Structure 1
Amino acid sequence: MRDEEAARQSAERMALMLTDWGFPRMPARVLMTVMTADEDLLTAADIGDRLGVSPAAVSGAVRYLIQLGMLGREPLPGSRRDAFRLPQNAWYEITALKGGLFKILADMSDEAVRALGEESGGGRRMATMRDYFIFVEGEFPKLLERWREHKADNGLD
């Protein structure tokens, strides 16, 4: 049996954690509200009601999440309103999109190494950062493939 208050508090704690990690606050709250909903589709009004904010306050957060691939928009039949849903592989999709970030960070770190000199203290630290992101970028596709296999093996689709 669902405990609405406990579910709301859990979603708010998760949103706060995402905010602490740099995710904008309202998109984090909207994302966790949709994640914890039993329904597959929620309107901006539904989300706003659950968060105690206006649908207009939800609007910018929804746009942000759609741009990241974390929410999808669907028109409601017979209405001018839209509803929002999580893509089937939302976490996988956002992680895959952000994968290019590792290459950018490796390249920028390498640029800093060249500017600082690899033998300087700062150059050594930046070289370690570069090498880490090169490693992560190389491992990332294997990790995603392992996730797909894990999902298939465990019926998680």
Structure 2
Amino acid sequence: MTQQDRQRIAVGIADGLSYAEIARRLDRPTSTISREIGRNGGPHDYRPQQAQRATARRARRGTPKPPRAGGPPDGVGAREEIVEMAVRAGLPRITARVHLDLLQSEDGRRTAAELTRRLKVSPASVSVAVNYLVRHGYVRRERDPQRRRDVYVIDDEAWYRSVVLSARQTLDTARAALASAEEVGPDDLVGRRMARTGAFLERISLDLLESADRWRPLLT
């Protein structure tokens, strides 16, 4: 990879482009871009000049040892990209990292202490993150009677619960808008706008609930 390539990667990161889009513009595999950014500071600390110098140093030392057999390909870069996509979608960064760590655990279970140790963040940050995930249906909280501590669990039904919870919240908003429109009256400009908004949100949320139920068996 040339210095110019690395400059274009830095510009792409600054512009908020996905790794896939940066790769497309450079005509390279997405995995190459993920690996390049992941091994040179990540998306927030990537510097093209430093990346170029680090690559030259690695070349002088010889080719690094390959990853252990069975390890995930481009693991760090891929994880960073998933977290970045979640952040761009509105999820707080620590929450996204906690969610991903639970998704990638073999049994989908972690204690708060395990999350704190694995992610190297404060217990308070983990507490805020898991409370958000529980509140939005991504994770459920269980009590371990033997160790007398909470365990946070993500299972195959997590996405269904999250979608349903979001749709129901949207449905509540829709019905509040329709009620407001009725109070104002159909002859009022604001009333008509609220009625249109409520009708749209109600239809969308009902369709989403129906679709979630229809495709739920895919998760089992």
- TM norm. shorter chain > 0.5: yes
Does the C-alpha gap of structure 1 residues 7 and 33 become closer, same or farther in structure 2, counting only changes over 3 Å?
farther
How far is the alpha carbon of 1:115 from its aligned partner? Answer: 4.3
Does the C-alpha gap of structure 1 residues 111 and 12 become closer, same or farther in structure 2, counting only changes over 3 Å?
same
CA RMSD of aligned residues (A): 2.9
* 2:88 aligned residue (17, 38, 44): 17
Moved more, 126-135 or 52-61: 52-61
* Correspondence for 1:104: 172
* Correspondence for 1:129: 197
Secondary structure of 2:152's match? strand
Counting only pairs closer than 5 Å after superposition, residues 34-49 of structure 1 correspond to structure 2 as 34-38=102-106, 40-49=108-117
More contact order relative to length (CA 8 Å, sep ≥ 6): 1
What is the one-letter code of the residue matched to 2:167? G
Is residue 77 of structure 2 the alignment partner of residue 6 of structure 1?
Answer: yes
Secondary structure of 1:5's match? helix
Counting only pairs closer than 5 Å after superposition, residues 51-130 of structure 1 correspond to structure 2 as 51-74=119-142, 79-130=147-198
Relative to the length of structure 2, the TM-score reads 0.55
Does the C-alpha gap of structure 1 residues 120 and 5 become closer, same or farther in structure 2, counting only changes over 3 Å?
same
Does the C-alpha gap of structure 1 residues 72 and 115 become closer, same or farther in structure 2, counting only changes over 3 Å?
closer
Query: Could you list the runs of 5+ residues in structure 2 that have no partner in the other structure?
Result: 1-70
What is the one-letter code of the residue matched to 2:163? T
Count of residue correspondences: 149
Task: Choose 1 or 2 for highest CA Rg.
Answer: 2
Does the C-alpha gap of structure 1 residues 123 and 14 become closer, same or farther in structure 2, counting only changes over 3 Å?
same
* Inter-partner Cα distance in structure 1 for 2:96 and 2:119: 11
How far is the alpha carbon of 1:132 from its aligned partner? Answer: 0.9
Query: Could you list the runs of 5+ residues in structure 1 that have no partner in the other structure?
Result: none
Is 1:45–1:54's contact at 8 Å kept on the other side of the alignment?
no
Does the C-alpha gap of structure 1 residues 73 and 109 become closer, same or farther in structure 2, counting only changes over 3 Å?
closer
Does the C-alpha gap of structure 1 residues 15 and 46 become closer, same or farther in structure 2, counting only changes over 3 Å?
farther
Provide the identity percentage. 32
Does the C-alpha gap of structure 1 residues 147 and 111 become closer, same or farther in structure 2, counting only changes over 3 Å?
same
